[in-house]
Amino acid sequence: MSVTSTLEIRRSSASVWGSGSSLRSLPAVSKLVDTSTCIGCKACEVACQEWNDLPAVATFNDGDYQTLKTLDAAFWNLIRFDEREVDGGIKWLMRKDQCMHCADPGCLEACPAPGALVQYENGIVDVNPAQCIGCGYCQTGCPFDVPRFSAKTGKMSKCTLCVDRVSIGLEPACIKSCPTGCLHFGTKDDMLELGRRRVAQLKASGYANAALYDPAGVGGTGVVTVLAFGDHPEWYGALPASPSVPWGVALWKKLLRPLGFLAIVGAVIGAFGHHLYHGNKGHVDPGPVDTDEPKA
C-alpha cells in the first residue's frame, strides 16, 4: 500500500459509518487467468517477487513442481499444480493462487482495525501496514485462505494487485511477464467478455464443462479464471466451488456485536431503573422468628 492518496477508497475495515471516501467512481479492474493456456513456467511468480521486492522464501524439494506448499507473507503469487485423471488420460492442471480481490471481501469484513484493509474504488483490496495490528482475523474471514502473517513485520500481507502500477496506468507485474498470453488485465467487464469468448472456444474444442470462475458468493472477484473443467474447480489447487465469507464472521459482526452491545447497555439501564423504582433491596419479612441475640 503506497498510493492511498491517488486512489479513492470505496470501503474500509472496522468503520461504523461512511466507510468510503469517494465521490467519483472508477470502473472495477480485474485479471483474467486462462488456466488452459498456462504452461507452469512461473514467470508470474518471479515477476511478483521482483516488482514487489519480496525476499526469497526457502523452498523444499518434495518431488513436486509447486514452488511452495502454500502462500507466504513474502510470496503472494503461487502456481498450484494438480494432476487429474480424465477419460483415461492425465490432465496437468495449473492455477494461479493469489488474493482474489473479492467484491465483498471477507478479510475486510473480519478486520477489527479501522483502515487496515481497504477496498479502492476500482475494486482492489489492499492491506495498510500502518493500521494493521497483525491479529490474523482477515485470514479467518478469507474464503480463499490468502492473507499471511509475517513474523518479521508483525503484520498481514498479500497480493496488492500491483495497486502501485495500476494506479498509474500500468498492468500488474505478473500480467506483463506471462509468455503465453494466459494472463490478461483490464476492466472487469472487458475481462468477463474475453473470458466468455475463451470459454466458448474451449467448449467448441470438446471441453463441454468449461466455465468462467467469478463466484457470486463473494460478489464476484477481481481475478476471474477460465477453467476447462468448470464443473470441478476443486481440481485446481482446491479452488472452492462456491466460496462465501464464513458464516461465523457474519454472525459475529452483524448479529452478536450489535445484540451484545444492546444487552450490556440494557443491563446498565435496567440496573439504574431498578434502583430508581425499588430503592435499596429488601426481602419479604418471614414473620416472627427467633433471630435475636443468643440466649445465654
Partner 1 sequence: MSKVVRQIGFDEGAYVARDKEDVVVGNEIIRHRLSARIIHWAVGITFFGSLVTGLPVWTPVFGWMANLVGGLSVCRVVHAYVGLLFAAASLAMAVEWWGDMKMTKEERGWVGPKLLEYLRDAANHDRIGKYNGGQKVYFYTSKLSALGLLVSGVILWFPTSFPQWVRVVAVILHDVTFILFAVSLVFHIYLASVAEPGTLNAMTRGTVSKAWARIHHPKWYRELMGLEKKGS
Query: Which residues lie near partner 1 (CB under 8 A)?
Result: 14-16, 112-114, 133-137, 139-140, 145, 149, 154, 246-249, 251-252, 256-257, 259-261, 263-264, 267-268, 270-271, 274-275, 278, 280-284, 286, 289-291, 293-294
Provide, rounded to whole angstroms, the least separation between the CB of residue 74 and partner 1.
Answer: 15
In the bound state with partner 1, the residue whose beta carbon lies nearer, of 131 and 160, is 131
The residue (of 204 and 238) whose beta carbon lies closer to partner 1 is 238
Nearer to partner 1, 35 or 128 (CB): 128
Closest separation between CB of residue 239 and partner 1, Å? 16
- Three cell numbers, residue 36: 488452459
Q: 226, exposed or middle or buried, with CB in 10 Å at 0-12, 13-18, 19+?
A: buried
Least spacing, CB of residue 270 vs partner 1, in Å:
8
- Alpha carbons 286 and 17: distance in angstroms, whole number: 55
Q: Could you tell me the smallest distance in angstroms from the CB atom of residue 77 to partner 1?
A: 20
Please state the closest distance from residue 27 (CB atom) to partner 1, in A.
30
Show Cβ contacts of residue 34 under 8 Å, excluding neighbours closer than 6 positions.
181, 182, 183, 184, 195, 198, 225, 226
For residues 153 and 129, is the Cβ–Cβ distance under 8 A?
yes
Smallest gap from Cβ 39 to partner 1, in A, equals: 32
CB of 12: closest distance to partner 1 in angstroms?
10
- Comparing CA positions, the residue from 223, 175, 136, 160 lying closest to residue 2 is 160
186/246 with CB nearer partner 1? 246
Shorter beta-carbon distance to partner 1: residue 90 or 268: 268
CB nearer partner 1, residue 38 or residue 117: 117
Sequence-ordered list of residues with C-beta below 8 angstroms from that of 126, at least 6 positions apart, any chain:
1, 117, 118, 119, 120, 160, 161, 163
Residue 200 vs 262, nearer CB to partner 1: 262
Q: In Å, how far from its chain's centre is CA 292?
A: 71
CA distance 86 to 65: 20
Q: SS3 for 172?
A: coil
Under 8 Å between Cβ of 223 and 207: no
